[in-house]
Amino acid sequence: LYGQGTSWVTFQKCPVMVEHRVEIPAQERGFLKTLTVELNQSVAAGQLLAELDTDLAELELQMAQLERTRAEELARDESNVKYQQVALQKVEEELASHRSISNSVSDSEIRRLTLGVEQAKLELVRATHVHSRALSEVKLKSVAVEVAQLRLTRRRIVAPRSGVVTAIKIHPGQSVEAGQTILEIEDLEQLVIDRLVPSAQVNVVELVGCEVRVDLEQADGAMLRFAGQVTSYDPHVSSSGLVRVHARVKNIQQDGHWLLLPGREVTMHVAQGGNSRSDQAKASILPDSKIR
């Protein structure tokens, strides 16, 4: 049953615990509009769980989109820049023409045209700067749209991971603050088995990575077996010389229900020696007979 060359250490009454429990909060302030799941329902990662009121957030997004459109229209208008470029070119040509016949043009006229060129250059710089600000405004308005879209998206509460809904704290119609827990999810696909072992008798370092087999006796006498491996141990020893060892086991699902539940006590067998390392353990249901 266990394989040749492998010895097994058995631990009785080992508690079963949840490894991953997630409190799912509201990310925005508002009131809960809909709740799409029920207590003890299994959910998948990314599944919609609840939704806050969205009317104001939708209007804010629409307003941000309109402001971005207006900013884009202003940024596309380069007429003033082109006008100032033409104006500068004309006054420069006029100045060059007058200088070519400087004997017939007064110094005051040359100074006037020179000043006109400098003014035209400044007007072109000013127009270019205004257009550059218009382009920057488009970027700002685009970011505002992204922010509004994100705030709208954050009003939809989705499952960060697969699991079972184990608590519902807020119900439709109730107000909620940002950061307040709406519901809780527990991952029952993989569970943790804990056991205090005597450090003087067991080398816990060598246990890490070892295969484990967990037995749970049902009310009808049937024995369920779950498989996994030792994952870690606490880095301190109690005053009684005990070290807490943690093993992770894969749960079994039958007819949509998980068979191993947190809070139960199980018998855990840990492999030692031989081929005791398990890279991928499998779970199974044993017949009524117990392990010998």
One-character DSSP codes across 138-164? HHHHHHHHHHHHHHHHTTEEE-SS-EE
Residues 204 and 252 in one domain: yes
Residues 170 and 35 in one domain: yes
Angstrom distance (rounded) from CA 204 to CA 242: 10
- Residue 2: the pLDDT is 44
Domain count, the chain: 3
Residues 75 and 110 in one domain: yes
Return the minimum-mean-pLDDT range out of 49-58, 134-143, 266-275.
266-275
Residue 284: pLDDT over 80: no
Whether 259 maps to a domain, the answer reads yes
- Residue 220: the pLDDT is 85
Mean pLDDT of 263-270: 93
pLDDT digits (tens, 9 = 90+) for 22-52: 999 999 999 999 999 999 999 999 999 999 9
Q: Pick the last residue of a domain from 136, 153, 170.
A: 153
Which residue in 176, 157, 167, 149 sits closest to 47, CA to CA? 157
Mean pLDDT of 82-96: 88
Angstrom distance (rounded) from CA 201 to CA 49: 48
Whether 205 maps to a domain, the answer reads yes
Return the minimum-mean-pLDDT range out of 34-43, 86-95, 97-106.
97-106
Residues 212 and 163 in one domain: no
Residue 278: pLDDT over 60: no
pLDDT digits (tens, 9 = 90+) for 109-125: 888 888 888 998 999 99
Whether 1 maps to a domain, the answer reads no
Angstrom distance (rounded) from CA 141 to CA 70: 9
Whether 2 maps to a domain, the answer reads no
Angstrom distance (rounded) from CA 73 to CA 22: 46
- How much is the pTM? 0.70
Residues 228 and 179 in one domain: no
Residues 168 and 42 in one domain: yes
Residues 116 and 243 in one domain: no
Return the minimum-mean-pLDDT range out of 89-93, 112-116, 258-262, 270-274.
270-274
Residues 164 and 227 in one domain: no
Alpha helices in the chain (DSSP H): 55-76, 79-100, 107-153, 204-207
Task: Find the domain containing 118 and state its range.
Answer: 55-153
pLDDT digits (tens, 9 = 90+) for 222-253: 889 999 999 999 999 999 999 999 999 999 98
Angstrom distance (rounded) from CA 194 to CA 11: 10
Mean pLDDT of 146-164: 96
- Residue 5: the pLDDT is 57
Mean pLDDT of 165-186: 96
CATH number of the structural domain spanning residue 160: 2.40.50.100
- Residue 8: the pLDDT is 86
Tokens of 77: 């208008």
CA distances from 112 to 22, 71, 98, 122, 133 (A): 77, 38, 11, 15, 31
- Residue 279: the pLDDT is 43
Percent of the chain with pLDDT strictly greater than 90 = 65
Q: Pick the last residue of a domain from 186, 208, 227.
A: 186
Angstrom distance (rounded) from CA 288 to CA 270: 21
- Residue 243: the pLDDT is 93
Mean pLDDT of 170-181: 96
- Residue 164: the pLDDT is 95
Whether 164 maps to a domain, the answer reads yes
Angstrom distance (rounded) from CA 237 to CA 289: 37
Residues 37 and 104 in one domain: no
Residue 258: pLDDT over 50: yes
- Share the mean pLDDT of the chain: 88
Whether 236 maps to a domain, the answer reads yes
Report the C-alpha dihedral over residues 54, 56, 57, 61, rounded to 10 degrees: 130
Q: How confident is the model at residue 285 (pLDDT cuts 50, 70, 90)?
A: very low
Angle between helix 79-100 and helix 107-153 axes, rounded to 10 deg:
160
Angstrom distance (rounded) from CA 169 to CA 163: 17
Residues 228 and 281 in one domain: yes
Whether 290 maps to a domain, the answer reads no
- Phi and psi angles of residue 81, each rounded to the nearest 5 degrees, phi first: -65, -45
Q: For the chain, how many residues are written? A: 292
> 272: which strand partners?
7
| 277 vs 181, residue with greater confidence | 181
CATH number of the structural domain spanning residue 235: 2.40.30.170
| 8 vs 180, residue with greater confidence | 180
Residues 38 and 73 in one domain: no
Which residue in 234, 224, 288, 231 sits closest to 259, CA to CA? 224
Whether 193 maps to a domain, the answer reads yes
Residues 161 and 207 in one domain: no
Q: Pick the last residue of a domain from 110, 128, 153.
A: 153
